[in-house]
Structure 1
Amino acid sequence: MKYKDIIREMTLEEKASLMSGKDFWQSQNIDRLGIPSMFLADGPHGVRKQAAAADHLGLNESIPATCFPTAATVANSWNVELVEKMGKYLGKEAVAQKVNVLLGPGINMKRNPLCGRNFEYYSEDPYLAGKMAAGLIRGIQFNGISACVKHFAVNNQEERRMVIDTIVDERTLREIYLTAFEIAVKEGKTKTVMSSYNMLNGTHTNENMHLMRDILRDEWGFDGVVVTDWGGNNDRVAGLLAGNELEMPTTDGETDKEIVEAIKSGKIQEEVLDECVDRLLDLIFTTEKIFEKPHIDFDTKEHHQMAQKVAEESIILLKNEGNILPLKKDAKVAVIGDFAEEARYQGAGSSIVNPTILNHTLDCLDESGIKAIGYEPGFERYGKKNKKKIDKACELASRADVVLLYIGLDEVTEAEGVDRENMKIPKNQVELLHAIYEVNRNIVVVLSCGSAVEMPWIDRVKGLVHGYLSGQAGAKAVLNVLTGKVNPSGKLAESYPIRYEDTPSFHHFPGKEVSVEYREGPYIGYRYYDTANVPVLFPFGYGLSYTTFAYADLKVSRKGVTFNITNTGNHAGSEIAQLYVGCKSEAIFRPKKELKGFKKVYLQPGETKEVTISFDDKTFRYFNVKTNQWEIEDAEYEIMIGASSVDIRLNGNLHVEGTAAPVPYEKEKLPSYYSGKVSNVSLEEFEHLIGRKVPDPNWDRSKPLGYNDTIAQCQYAKGGFARFAFHLIKFAHWFLRKIGKRSTANLIIMSVYHMPFRGISRMTGGMINMPMLDGLLMIVNGHFFKGLNYFLKQRKLMLKEKSSLTRETDAVKEM
């Protein structure tokens, strides 16, 4: 231990006090020992430090900071060096705002397109997500503070996220859902990891010894700090045993007492607490050093320019029929769509950034050089029909050579805490598009959203530029692409299915009650579509350019591949070359191909460059559930170089010697997995895969409600008061949506409807403690007066104890 001397001077109570927050965003301090508080702030794509009232939902405005493009956007750049540079800018702003730990990046897999938080995550591919995350972490931590990779792990839905039990087989867990975290820990060297809310195979993640001890600590060698997601602690002592140092936010000392009592009773050894304290002190002291230097503000204009650069490299050209783009200089352009006037540039929830500067398309038109003949909003932002707006937009469109149509998803459709209802663009926007098509066929759609959408209207547009959620400088970046000042070079970091029903997790997303079953196994995204031969709208890794590229001269060696790329067009541009590997053996089921490397190359017209992509420890491995370790299958491997997952330009073969591990599966019992056709796997076959019975996914409605049951389950409560409260909440949600207050309606679902009862205690900063919660549960379970009496009695005891503690503290200060 690094801090034995300090720990030796601490009382048991002081050690325990460091294990939970001082308030909503700060860790506890111990002044007599020179231990300061740390400040933790949200920050996947911008620092969100709240100066006034603190919340975790993005409700209260934060100190202005640069809003960079979201992770879903940046991933489309496939540029690790760029994202590392962006991380340096983020870290610099965090230092300027005296933030010790920046809570990002988020690297959960995009298992399903409807996950409400997909805009905060990089990709459906763990290798790409891990590499991008490692780059961002290195950039942030270059400044001396800590990044915090999240949410560890298998947190892939927002509905019931605090209690849902994720049922997944060990191989899929390792290969798909943990690989990005492994890269973030080993290559990014993140100092902090945030545990997720959910359970994993029956155990809360921050209490899961296999996840937290066996894998994170022992296998990956992580020696940093694990912090809970806010309100994510279930059993504090079990969490401590698993190596979870910091619980956030404060519980006003309640869980600190649980730790003290557990040590005094011998339930856990004090040495376990000392280890956790040592790791936490290391994070506090190492990140605090940077604040000893003179305070330096950041240059807002320089950082804004960096945000624009990141956006420009991340924008994707998805369609360019008849080379309608870049726009001709003399073209008369109609600008239509509410998002052109009021940019859609970030998601909603805890990642909301208060931008230092904010570009809107209409404000940047003159500078762009586009000859705009007018603007019409065309649609109501939040879905309400408005025929007058459509008529006005069509009149303007009829006079234009080209229509720039700005459409997408609104802020309340993509938000933390709620999953999307469908994959569609709002109906009123689609109706507008069809109406414009009748008067002008030269439509270029500028799409703004952070996750995949269906596009049944794609044949009605000639151009499609996808900006994703491109941050505060995104509007100007898009205009630079439209006019050709910037040659688009982004490529999709996720697949776009033709329809939602085509997705492999369609039948098992989200988990509605107790659990969610990952029956598709390792076949998510392109791994499924390419293996099962399911056609997609746009494949993983796809993106167009204003120039063309030719691939040639593939050479495959034991160390990696080399090949040439030539810019065969008339414009300078960047190409993203992708290395895929497929195993030709049929002994162990695998996806047809998997991404194992990539390189972004900038080329002048006519220029040729040799590209080298090296193999690494992840190129040929698979996780063997019999040996419980990574193995290599002795086989012939196909080495593929592609411009996307389906556009393979070069092929080669390589025989790789294996590790002689036993075949872990009985092929005849897993036909779906060996074929890759996993869209509707039977329960029996899934149980063969995981090697055990699957728990009942439905609530047991005969049992009384407890700590981990949600407010939503009050609909089955024995207590009439609880059932009435449930129906009141449901009505409030319906009514708020009806009157257009969708953001507030979302908040009810996120912070009330799907909140477990323990969350009432964990998220109120000690205002309601667990004994008081016991009283509330008595009321819920049909004992109204007994429960109310118990609740009031416990509240009185809590206030008395706090008053006594305050007097003791004041007496110590006077001495």
Structure 2
Amino acid sequence: MFQDANVAVADVIAAMTDEEKVDLLSGRGLWKTAAIARLNIPSIIMTDGTYGVRYSTTQIDAGDDDEDGLQQFLAVVNQDADDDTGMFGTTLPATCFPNGNLIGCSWDYDLTYRMGQALAAECHQMGVQLLLGPGINTRRTPLAGRAYEYYSEDPVINGDLAAALISGLQDNGIGASLKHFACNNSEIDRTNTSSDVSERALREIYLAGFERAIAKSAPWTVMSAYNPVNGVQAAENHWLLTHVLRQNWGYDGLVVSDWHAVKDRPASLAAGTELDMPESKPRKAQLLAALKTGEIDRQAVDAACGRMLDFVRKCLAAKPTVPGADLDRHHALARDIAAESMVLLKNENAVLPLDPATIGRLLVVGDGALKPQIQGSGSATTNPYLVDIPLSQIDARAAGRFVLEHLPTPHGTATEIEAHIAGICERAGEADAVVVFAENEKGRNGEGNDRDTLDIVPAQNAVIAALAGVADKLVVVLTMPDAVEMPWLETVPAALACFYPGQGGGEAIARILFGEQNPCGKLSATMPARIEDIPGWHSYPGEHGRHLYSEGMFVGYRYYDLKSIAPAFPFGHGLSFTTFGYEDLAIDASEISPGSSCNVTLTIRNTGTVPGKEIVQIYVRPVAPGLKRPIRELKAFAKIALQPGEARSVTFSLGPRDFQYFDTSRGSWVLQAEAFVIEAAASSRDIRLSHVVPCRSEPLRLPAFTEHSPTSAILADAAAAETVRAFIAEKLAVSDDEARIITEKVRGSFLGFHETLSWFIGDSISRDDVVKLLSDLNNGNYG
């Protein structure tokens, strides 16, 4: 019945029993939707991913017996990406692409789209129809355990890169699940601790990336988060899932829960969560009982079934539009994405690139050169079919041209470590250049586990500090889930941030070290100089089940700008082996007015001697805004490839929302400022060009006046003051001049309007007359 295209979805729903409806809206096992054979409704297979397809044969192919489902689920969530005990034994090999923390640094739509295409091909090959991602929660704090999965601290990057990846998947027949909606920013008691966020911060920061991605790519599904938002579970939050997602944004796809995120199944369905994953017999029983007793509206259940059936039909209609999965080609793509995304943080005295022809001896230090940390831990962990070992890729460049030596990270007692460091420094004295591989302390990050420190492995800090005193050409290669503290930064000439680079990271590192790839990644999240500088640090991780987002909309660089705090490296920072000039900034609008858009054009020139790519960032800075706003905010970006001496003009389009803020008193987006400064920048702290554009603001709608409104507030409005003067003249039968004197006498009162008049005038003016006057003012009847 269902697979007959001539049969309407409404007719299928009408033919379903209550039990079948509950089955349809619940998972079957861990990774499937329910099949209803009587109506010819098939099961849909889904799995985790978006930096790699994680297909577990034991969990997906072994059937739908849920007796050990929870145990298998916990094994997935708690797996350690560095565990050598066979965690990948039942997971099919797949391409492990760079994680979100590094992809975000690419600022590259095309690469992200191509990654989506490759993931779609691997999904088709494995029989997967829905890939659970991308994850775009705002990287509010670098301590967050799942920060490695997410792109950025800024909603523009989050939304645009997510849209590119979703389009790469869905254009090629695989559904995406935009997650985790919303405010999944800590793993500490993550299913119970409420993310308490002001509506303005939600609208401008935490929801804005989702809104942008949905508008640009229409993901087939959106996944709700584990945590409560302002005291209500995300999966049961009607304001979030219905008012914002569906009514404000017009989203018409399917909402799926995060795995076991639903606590009250009837409440979650009423709020807007159609598909409850994975299968839970108790939750199915809850929903069936609520349906039978009338606790939940049947129309809501039928509407949810309609969305579910639409989703299934969409999956069935999708066909592969890319060639079969070529893992070798995908490995090459993983290498390219990593190389295009790594961020050269520092490069004093042009230490990089290394020249194989002039290096007699190269010393490589650190365990990460032999056993690289390519990905984070948790449900997204992928079984890489191949891994580039950094030391092997460096050795391939040696090829008899220079001597390569490797020494491990020191381990053991303090005395043993000190002796090892002395030996490393001795070997470094004989080398022409030294490369140190460093990473954060393991076991302190990943799903279910926030970091409690920004430190790298302590012995590595000691090694780097010691080597800085003996090696002129010292390069630190960092792999980490997010920012780390670098106490040795001032003494080290070169540092390369790799984040979690995926299976091709080793080759990408070698390409950059030896100048085969000009680094062109830029930071998509600010790197603080110390843990105490993190925005919201004073309220992290919350108390008594509530986590107050105390910095409001001042997230990331917005906070550092507001507080004039110098970060270790600012948002948008990244060096190149060449240099770029910014020229001829022009705006095609003489003013910014309500509903208006504008185009920003400038020229970028490669002023260096080698080809390179520059990430141009457009920021908008309001002058005298109506409410307090961030000093500047990213609104557009582009990655431009240029040959030496080449110049190219690039144009950015800015729309009405790029100039507005969300006014909670009006419940809408508002344009209010004297002017806007449009800035073209190489980072949030490297503004190259700027242009001021006047603004014609929307008329300010004052709060409604009541009898208790301060008299000073009412008389601050000139038209209202004249109306009050005329009112006093009429009610007291005095001249205009006498009424004006009375009005001026009461102008400075902070008391309520009615009480002030009573105090100065007595009972000559009744309360009813005051209420009518204020009603006229509120309705715009000035007379």
Q: TM-score, normalised by structure 2?
A: 0.82
Measured in 2, the distance between the counterparts of 1:67 and 1:123 equals: 20
Judged with a 3 Å threshold, the aligned counterparts in structure 2 of structure 1 residues 383 and 641 are, in CA distance, closer, same or farther, namely farther
8 Å Cα contact 2:440-2:479 kept in structure 1: yes
**CA shift at 1:388, angstroms?**
5.0
The 3-state SS of whatever aligns with 2:316 is helix
2:498 to 453, 457, 467: 467
**1:40-51 matches, cutoff 5 A:** 40-51=46-57
Query: Gapped runs of 5+ residues in structure 1?
Result: 669-815
Q: Which residue of 2 aligns with 1:14?
A: 20
Task: Map 1:293-332 to 2 at 5 A.
Answer: 297-329=324-356, 330-331=358-359, 332=361
2:572 corresponds to 1:552? no
Deviation, 1:264, is 2.2
- Give distance in 2, aligned partners of 1:373 and 1:202: 57
- 1:235 alignment partner AA: D
Unaligned runs of 5+ in 2: 1-6, 60-71, 80-86, 590-597, 705-709, 711-783
Shift of 1:73: 0.2
Q: Distance in 1 between matches of 2:324 and 2:625?
A: 58
Distance 2:483 2:141 in 1: 9
- Alignment match of 1:30 (pick from 18, 33, 36): 36
**Aligned residue identity for 1:526:** Y
Structure 1 residues 305 and 501: CA distance shift in structure 2, 3 A:
same
| 1:287-366 alignment, distance < 5 Å | 287-290=315-318, 297-329=324-356, 330-331=358-359, 332-366=361-395
Structure 1 residues 66-465: aligned runs within 5 Å? 66-252=95-281, 254-290=282-318, 297-329=324-356, 330-331=358-359, 332-369=361-398, 371-380=402-411, 386-465=417-496
| AA in 2 matched with 1:660 | P
**2:688 is aligned with 1:649:** yes
Give yes or no for the alignment of 1:510 onto 2:516.
no
Distance 1:413 1:296 in 2: 40
Read off the aligned partner of 1:210 and give its amino acid letter: W
Contact 2:50–2:116 (8 Å) recurs in 1: no
Q: Distance in 1 between matches of 2:216 and 2:8?
A: 23
Q: 1:271 and 1:155 mapped to 2: Cα distance?
A: 31
> Would the aligned equivalents of 1:2 and 1:282 in 2 still touch at CA under 8 Å?
no
Give distance in 1, aligned partners of 2:36 and 2:146: 36
> Corresponding residue for 2:62?
none
> Cα offset for 1:221?
1.0
CA pair 411-283 structure 1, distance change in 2 beyond 3 A: farther
For the pair 1:499 / 2:542, whether they are aligned, the reply is no
Distance of 1:597 and 1:221 partners within structure 2:
24
1:604 to 2:643 alignment: yes
In 1, the alpha carbon distance for the partners of 2:414 and 2:382 equals 24
Q: Indicate the SS of the match to 1:175.
A: helix
- Alpha-carbon distance, 1:586 to partner: 4.2
Structure 2 equivalent of residue 777 of structure 1: none
State the Cα deviation string for residues 274-298 of structure 1 (Å, max 9, x = none). Answer: 111111111122113347x799741
Encode CA deviations 1:384-435: one digit per residue, 9 max, x unaligned.
Answer: 9734543443332221010010101254232111110111112111111123
Supply the distance in 2 between the matched residues of 1:380 and 1:70 (Cα, whole angstroms). Answer: 28
CA distance in 2, matches of 1:4, 1:379: 67
**Aligned partner of 1:348: which letter?**
S
Distance 1:378 1:634, change over 3 A: closer
Q: Secondary structure at the match of 1:445?
A: strand
2:77 corresponding residue in structure 1: 57
| TM-superposed deviation, 1:442 | 2.2
- Structure 1 residue 440 displacement after superposition: 2.3
- Report the 3-state secondary structure (helix = DSSP H, G, I; strand = E; otherwise coil) of the residue aligned with 1:187: helix
Deviations 1:142-174 (A, max 9, x none): 121211111100111110110111111111110
- 1:634 is displaced (CA, Å) by 4.5
Residue 133 of structure 1 aligns to which amino acid in structure 2? A
CA deviation after TM superposition for structure 1 residue 238, in Å: 0.6
SS at match of 2:27: coil
Give the residue type in structure 2 aligned to 1:255: R
Q: Aligned equivalents of 1:279 and 1:393: distance in 2?
A: 62
SS of the residue corresponding to residue 386 of structure 2 reads coil
Deviation at 1:368, TM superposition (A): 2.6
Distance 1:50 1:661, change over 3 A: farther
Partners of 1:403 and 1:234 lie apart in 2 by: 54
- Decide whether aligned partners of structure 1 residues 191 and 378 sit closer, same or farther in structure 2, where only a CA change above 3 A counts: same
The corresponding residue for 2:592 is none
Aligned-residue CA RMSD in angstroms?
Answer: 2.2
1:39: how far off?
A: 1.2
Q: Which residue of 1 aligns with 2:733?
A: none
Q: CA deviation at 1:438?
A: 3.7
Q: What pairs up with 1:709-748 in 2 under 5 angstroms?
A: none
Q: Which amino acid aligns with 1:662?
A: R
Cα distance change, pair 191–411 in 1 and its aligned pair in 2 (3 A): farther
Instruction: Name the CA distance, whole Å, in 1 between partners of 2:673 and 2:578.
Output: 41
Q: Name the counterpart of 1:797.
A: none
Task: Report the Cα offset of residue 12 of structure 1.
Answer: 0.9
Amino acid at match of 2:240: L
Tell me the equivalent position of 1:592. Answer: 631
Measured in 2, the distance between the counterparts of 1:236 and 1:384 equals: 58
* Aligned counterparts of 2:695 and 2:220: Cα–Cα separation in 1: 35
Q: CA–CA distance in 1 between the matches of 2:451 and 2:29?
A: 32
1:7 is displaced (CA, Å) by 1.1
- Inter-CA distance 383–318: structure 2 relative to 1 (3 Å threshold): farther
Change (3 A) 1:383 1:577: farther
CA shift for structure 1 position 263? 2.1
Are the aligned partners of 2:339 and 2:517 in contact in 1 as well (CA < 8 Å)?
Answer: yes
Asked if 2 retains the 8 angstrom alpha-carbon contact of 1:498 and 1:536, the reply is yes
* 1:380 Cα offset (Å): 4.2
Higher Cα Rg, which structure = 2
Q: Per the alignment, do residues 380 and 6 of structure 1 end up closer, same or farther by CA in structure 2, a change over 3 Å counting?
A: farther
Tell me, yes or no, if the aligned pair for 1:582 and 1:638 is still in contact at 8 Å.
yes
- The 1-side partners of 2:114 and 2:658 are apart by 26
Maintained 8 Å contact 2:160/2:213: yes
Q: Does the aligned pair in 2 maintain the 1:377–1:389 contact within 8 Å? A: no
- Classify the secondary structure of the residue corresponding to 2:176: strand
Distance 1:295 1:321, change over 3 A: closer
1:685 is matched with none
TM-score normalised by the chain length of structure 1: 0.79
CA shift, 1:656, in A, is: 3.0
Report the CA distance shift for 1:637/1:24 in structure 2 as closer, same or farther (over 3 A): same
Task: Output the CA distance in 2 between the equivalents of 1:615 and 1:295.
Answer: 34
Larger mean CA deviation between 537-546 and 357-366 belongs to 357-366
* 1:638 and 2:693 correspond: no
Deviation readout 1:172-219 (Å, 9 max, x if unpaired): 110010000001111121111110111111111111111010110111
Q: Residue 579 and residue 28 in structure 1: after superposition, are their counterparts in 2 closer, same or farther (change >3 A)?
A: same
Flag the 1:94–1:319 CA change in 2: closer, same or farther, 3 A.
same
Shift of 1:51: 0.7
Using the TM superposition, name which of 536-545 and 630-639 deviates more: 630-639
Q: Give the % identical residues.
A: 39
